[in-house]
Structure 1
Amino acid sequence: MTVFTTAGPPSLDDPGLAGHYLRLIGDGDEYGAVGIVTDLLDQGTRPQRIMLELIAATQARVGELWAANEWSIAREHAATAISERALAAVAARTATRPTRGRITVACVDGEWHALPVRILAEMLRLDGWRTDYLGANVPGPHLVTHLHQTGPDAVALSCMITTRLPRAHAAITACRSVGIPVIAGGRGFGADGRYAHRLGADAWAATAADAVTRLARDWPPPFSDPGDATFLGDDEYTHVVRHRADLLRTALSRLSGAYPGAAAYDQRRRDATAEDMGHIIDFLAAALYVGDPSVFTDFITWTRDVLTARGVPPIALETGLGLIRDQLRDYPRAAAMLAVPRVGSAT
């Protein structure tokens, strides 16, 4: 069966294949998407290439389409589910006997982006690891229980969203306290892995392929005392986290007075506004935790672009920042971060 519509068998070197696969998952065509990956396997394409160059690369494009408001969240979720099925089809066709050791692969507590870490798990399995894939949103205590039960040689932790860094820190510390080294991955740790090292991870990998190479060639790393890890979080971070609900409730109660357009919001837009302002507080807390304002300012820049694509004027975001800043005037680092983005002047 050949599902690709151009002449000849499908090839990852064909520039049209990625677009064709994107259209299939965007249209909910699971049969066609799975057909492409099985045809590629039949043609002798290495499964690692299919995972990285087709499935992972297309998933990144799906995220871009959602951010640009070209795809709905429902369409994005449906497409992701089909790519998970395509990945499962690749995995079902590739059996590899474990030869290296045992590794636990998981998303940190509160992290729901499971497809990237599932791809990593399958690539490690193909490289000879006995892989325990725990999936999304693994609470730290349950992760540690699993480690005691299985005794792996390593843990691979994924964090895609920076707001999960405090929980990632707790998980890394817990793993290392029982003598198991951690390799971290995911954009939540920073483009260069700076937060992974700051949180005590033994190694960081920018991509799944990098992780496979590091674990095969340079593992285990020299083990340091887990007690030497830098303490993170201070009174400002603690205040923001403990008073998150109050900060959000007060900001929302004052929104209509500060931004008259909010008075006309229906329930859907009020809920979306509450969610957005909650994210602002969470990213502020994460920036305070790791001591890096760019965690917050980069998020605000991204949020401004997303809201603009959805027709929300920049002044709405700036007003929300001001309402939170007004409540944190006694906390200089938090107030300074909230004062940095001048979204109104960016348009």
Structure 2
Amino acid sequence: MSNRAIHIDDASGRPEDDARLLTPARGDERALPWVDELWTAVRAGDEFSAVDVVDEALDSGLGPETLLLDVIGAVQRKVGIEWAANRMSVADEHAATAINDRVIASLPTRRPTTPRGRVTVACVDQEWHALPARLVAETLRLRGWRVEYLGAQVPTAHLIGHLHRTGPDAVCLSSSLPTRLPHAHSAITAVQAVGTPVMVGGLAFGADGRYARLLGADAWAPDARAAADRLAAGPLLQPPPAHQAIDDLPHLADQEYTMVAKSSTRLVRDTFHRLEERLPVMRDHTDEQRERTAEDLAHIVHFLTAALYVDASEIFTDFLTWTAEVLAARGVPAQCLLPGLELLAEQLRDFPRARRLIDAGRNALATSLDPRHAGRTP
């Protein structure tokens, strides 16, 4: 395994061309110079200059929504890409995200004279990527909605208690990491059980919203503008009657997800110890390297369990190939992932779905390392 941990944070995509990243989502070319200026301030860690850029952009006539989504949103996407490409440290990425959050807070707000309705915006339990949800909340406010923004990592029970007190017209749930999909599913079904429709968004639900539909959400939006447009179009569908997770996901009846999830700590521990036995070089690693290797293994197991939950191999394979790219940017050979996958497969030999997912992951890695291996199972 690698000697550098995979930091699963706002960097949630593959490195792309910078010009494409900085192109406004709806083609407002007026945003481009302000993106460059805000990026310069954010990269320098200069919060005051970042706020000045926002004020100047507004004074120049740039619309608040364009500023929010096509300037601040574009800069945040670039932050993630720069981290993945190893051009920003974890600390730098966190500092940049904090500045963007502060810049959003500096935007002027006004009370709508006739609110469209009331919406609660929250991240699902254990989802700490709050900025995408924040962009949705602020866009809805700009469009005239009364919004309760609950932020990151909202436990489902607390969310339901809040809904009982406030009675919103809809709930918008955000999740960036597929590993949170089981929590998202619990939140969706719990919110619907109290009679409130749910719209979801974020990278966790797939680029086309396939996991939103699979988990029974009433609506899905690919971005903040689409979320606001959908809510403006009329009420969401009424939630279905109360039901259990297995009603949406009958494959859970095989208990593989439950058993692998419950044994995840043991799987990581045993795989780590077997790696040490198989790869003597690991015995010379520092404590920090050993800790990071264990973290890498934990991420692999967590994405494997998420893939088991929704029965989707692409969740696991996409994570592994993205991880290989991140490691390569840090000078760590992606081949180091293969021994860990082999050892996991040995331990999960009695779990056919898990074995198929691991085989798919190994094949995806082999293909990314050498396209001539496409279609083969390592």
Bigger CA drift: 226-235 or 60-69?
226-235
Indicate if the aligned counterparts of 1:200 and 1:226 stay in contact, CA closer than 8 A.
no
* Residue 315 (str. 1) matches residue 335 (str. 2): yes
Name the counterpart of 1:122. 138
Question: Which residue, 286, 304, 315 being the options, matches 1:284?
Answer: 304
Distance 1:164 1:281 in 2: 13
Distance 2:114 2:275 in 1: 57
Indicate if the aligned counterparts of 1:314 and 1:344 stay in contact, CA closer than 8 A.
no
What secondary structure, in the 3-state scheme, does the structure 2 residue paired with 1:137 have? coil
Question: Which residue, 122, 136, 151 being the options, matches 1:106?
Answer: 122
For this pair of structures, how many residues does the alignment match? 336
Distance 2:178 2:132 in 1: 16
Question: Which residue, 163, 188, 211 being the options, matches 2:179?
Answer: 163
Distance 2:112 2:98 in 1: 25
Q: Residues 261 and 306 of structure 1: is their aligned pair in 2 closer, same or farther, counting only changes over 3 Å?
A: farther
Bigger CA drift: 225-234 or 248-257?
225-234
Q: Structure 1: which amino acid aligns with 2:77?
A: A
* Residue 140 (str. 1) matches residue 156 (str. 2): yes
Indicate if the aligned counterparts of 2:37 and 2:53 stay in contact, CA closer than 8 A.
no
Distance 1:263 1:197 in 2: 46
- Taking only the aligned residue pairs, the percentage that are identical comes to 47
Name the counterpart of 2:248. 230
Distance 2:158 2:114 in 1: 25
Distance 1:290 1:93 in 2: 40
* Residue 336 (str. 1) matches residue 356 (str. 2): yes
Indicate if the aligned counterparts of 2:182 and 2:309 stay in contact, CA closer than 8 A.
yes
**With structure 1 as the length reference, what TM-score do the two structures score?**
0.93
Where does the alignment leave 5 or more consecutive residues of structure 2 unmatched? 1-27, 371-378
Question: Which residue, 226, 239, 254 being the options, matches 2:274?
Answer: 254
Name the counterpart of 2:54. 37
Q: Structure 2: which amino acid aligns with 1:38?
A: D
How far the C-alpha of 1:304 sits from its partner, in A, is 0.8
Q: Structure 2: which amino acid aligns with 1:133?
A: Y
User: 1:1-347 residue pairs with structure 2 within 5 A?
Assistant: 13=30, 15-90=32-107, 92-227=108-243, 229-231=247-249, 233=252, 234-340=254-360, 341-342=362-363, 343=365, 346-347=369-370
Indicate if the aligned counterparts of 2:30 and 2:62 stay in contact, CA closer than 8 A.
no
**With structure 2 as the length reference, what TM-score do the two structures score?**
0.85
Q: Residues 268 and 97 of structure 1: is their aligned pair in 2 closer, same or farther, counting only changes over 3 Å?
A: farther
Q: Residues 185 and 287 of structure 1: is their aligned pair in 2 closer, same or farther, counting only changes over 3 Å?
A: same
Name the counterpart of 2:12. none
Name the counterpart of 1:4. none
Q: Structure 2: which amino acid aligns with 1:37?
A: V
How far the C-alpha of 1:100 sits from its partner, in A, is 1.1
How far the C-alpha of 1:70 sits from its partner, in A, is 0.9
Where does the alignment leave 5 or more consecutive residues of structure 1 unmatched? 1-10
Indicate if the aligned counterparts of 1:153 and 1:180 stay in contact, CA closer than 8 A.
yes
Q: Structure 2: which amino acid aligns with 1:235?
A: Q
| Superposed CA offset, 1:83-104 (max 9, x none) | 01111111x3554345111111
Distance 2:339 2:265 in 1: 18
| Higher-RCO chain (CA-CA 8 Å, sequence separation at least 6) | 2
Root-mean-square deviation (Å):
1.7
Indicate if the aligned counterparts of 2:118 and 2:168 stay in contact, CA closer than 8 A.
yes
